[in-house]
Structure 1
Amino acid sequence: MEIFLIYFQLLNYTFCLRPGEPLSRKSPIKSGTARVSASPEVHHKVHRKGHRAVGIIVPYITKVSDKQWIYRRKVPKDLREKIGIREFKFPLGTTEAEAWKKYPTVHKETEKRIVEARKAVLNPPKVQHQSELERFREARSRIRALQLNPDWDGSDENEGIIRDVIADKIVSKYAEDEEGHPFGVTAEDAALLNTLAYGSRQKAPSPTINDAKRLYLKERVRDDEKKQKHVELVFSYLQKALGSDRVLTSLKREDAKEVRDYIYDGIKASSADRYLNTVRAALNHAIKEFDLNWKNPFMGLEVDHKGKGEPDRDSKRPFTDEEVKATHVRILGYAKQDLQHIWRILERTGCRLAEVTGLRVEDVKLDNPIPHIVVEWHDQRRIKNMVSRRRVPLLGDALVAAKEAVAEAKGSVMLFPAYGRLNGAGSASAALGKHVRACVTDKKVTTHSLRHLMKDRLRLAGVSKADQDIVLGHSSGSVGEDYGGDEVRLKVALRALEKVFA
């Protein structure tokens, strides 16, 4: 029996194994290194089903030649259609050492793809059936694609013949009942058959609440998942309050009041106001795009704040100086490094949390005469509005934190890779919120209270309302929105923050 020595690493230690010998711990070596020495015959046996070393199997490593190692793994049959391939195959390098080094990363990524595909198969997205109006519009688009006139009035006999031929072809796909009528016709084909038959005589279906919601999601909300969920929630309240998907023009003021009362039941007045604002915006968009001669019954509809105080004013408050100092000390003592950097930048800039977590490395301008961060729209981060796009000076500890964060990013596109993603700001808020709550029990104080604190500090420093808006990115219709170039606005913001921290 051939005696061979296998070196491999486990928990940062080298273990030397010989057949029949127990494990023995030797001195630590650099993480990720491993070597296997064996005869070609042993290697052949090892690589048939994976790399096996004294009872330990490392699956999917295959040596295909003296200078080629690959990761090879069959895709489960039920996932092949979803993933699009029959087998994963990735090069691991030309030497065994390279293969062992690359294996963990390749294996982890492959496992991730399989898990994601499995979730997609087990939880397929809900099929959203078209509304009557959507089918009507799609049918007219299909008519145009066939180079026919959607508004055909029957006078062109040649087009009439072509329409009959197309209709016969569609009907021929379906079986006929005893009376010779096709059955099982899909809603989409039925809409096309009606458009082919009636042309200009076909009346467009009236848009419904659901049509308004879908149009708003498609043209205004687009791919913003957070806003998509909000709109879906708000319109679910409409459906429950009204009991069905009503035609828009059938909605009256009494219907709007009923919806308001349903939404207002059990939630804050401020939340009810926000939900109604979404309804107003969606219906106004529908009125414009559907060319409706109809007055939005939700316009001017107020939520009664009586008996609930002023929730918007009382829901949040700034930190006191003592509270912010205590929270600062705790975060620097207990939070992760990236959260420390985020907090220090927030504390000295007054930015929104999402504006900081969404920063790219290129947004940090350390070589500028006025070091600053650039808050702007990009694929990984949406900003609240155009006025929110701005340059914010970095002073004192915020500048130090930004420099440290850039150094820590190590070639990453995002300044804070763990939070520079979809819903990353929410994760950062939850993590920071735990430290805030450990120091401040009042639930009206949150991470966002740093922004309120900066607002108060600007006021106390005698900074004008217009200049406050430049620093904080507020839209108020003030002259602050009329300053010229970015450099001028940056200098104005610097002057304001210098007053605060003088």
Structure 2
Amino acid sequence: MGITLKHIVLTAAGTFHYRRRIPKDAAEVIGKREFKRLLGQTEREALRNYPKVNAEFERMVEDARRGAARRKSAGSPDDLTPLEVHRLAQRRASELEAMKVYVGDRELTGADPEAADVIRDSALSSGLSDPVERQAVNLVANKGRIPRPSPTLADAKRLYLQERIKGDINENQKTLRLERVMGYLAHAIETDRPLDRLTREDAREVRDHMIRDLDMNPSTVRRYVNDIRAMIGFGITEFGLRDALNPFQRLEIRVQTVAREERSPIPAKTLKAIRARLEAHAGADLWQIWRMLEGTGCRLGEVTGLLVSDVKLDAPVPYLDLVHHAHRRLKTAGSVRRVPLIGEALDAAREAVKAAGDSPVLFPRYGKVRGADVASASLMKHIRAVTEDDKIVVHSLRHTMKDRMIRARVSDGDQDLVLGHSRGGMGERYGGPDARLEVAAGAVKAALNGL
């Protein structure tokens, strides 16, 4: 066998498999000790599929660890939703009302107005850091006339976890999947959004984000949307929200929903306005990310997931070394590449490296699992402040670079070296990474010189 990559096993049947032991802490959450996937029938197939499967393993372990950390801290007061605080406070208020309070020579219960004032003044003077205790005192002082907070998306998730998943034979896997689903929802919907204020527009944005930005297969998106619909529907029913509608009900999912060709390059005038908006109103890191995207044609996740060590500023041709990381997978084998840094992209990279300081991650706010989702949501707010054209999104910058290279008469093969598109035989076209970097630099220079 000519393959020397780790974790590849050649079976007696002649097929190639990825086989790897799952770390103990993650195995306890996932429910199995070993991860196995078929890579292909030939060495060529195995090499092509290896990056994707290896990234899947790293992402699974990271999700398991993050999920375990969330569950470990779930009982802390700071982690409670307003509705959970209110429920616990009602119980505590009952205890306070049953307390005996002495006002002068009289013995009163906490339910008495005079006693309630004594309890409130005493509690407030000692300073209430516990939100449950603070709410309980308010309930006593207001004789319980504080409206119940509206159930939120976070409440629906926790109730669904408690009633539908806890105790299931596949509890760990289903919990992990639910955490993943909540991450996708977070792109468009805050976890503290009331269930009765979810809109169809929210549902479409979540769906489109998975297809458009995460490049998921529509069948995969359909499965996740089914999970979301079930969780929200369960919350609406169990919380008694009679007038609330489930916006994910009968949400159509087709390949044509957000077809890639519907994402437009950004017109020069609009691009200028977006740049002005970002420079004036966005954080320094977002502005750096935008300039690096515009000047390289990289995918958003490729830039937000960079480590400082991936930025080679002292090379003869400065470049980004795009490789797989545990917190960020790359889309295809062709995505592993060197991308030249020229002009503003180089300036932005220098600024980012300096700002990162001692952090190993180039963009600490976004260099984590699903960090690209957070960056996408922030950038889209600025884009939508400039244009309502739904064909113009962050990913449109790749189309913009593509158009610039086409106008500069850059060959298809050289364009693919820059953009990271997989093409058969590309490895034989140029001798090595340095040669490919030089060709890619020529392509980017030609594109930028045409502006």
So what's the TM-score if we normalise by structure 2?
Answer: 0.47
- Identify, as 1 or 2, the structure richer in helix: 2
Which one scores higher on RCO, CA 8 angstroms, separation ≥ 6? 2
So what's the TM-score if we normalise by structure 1?
Answer: 0.43
Select the structure of larger CA radius of gyration.
1
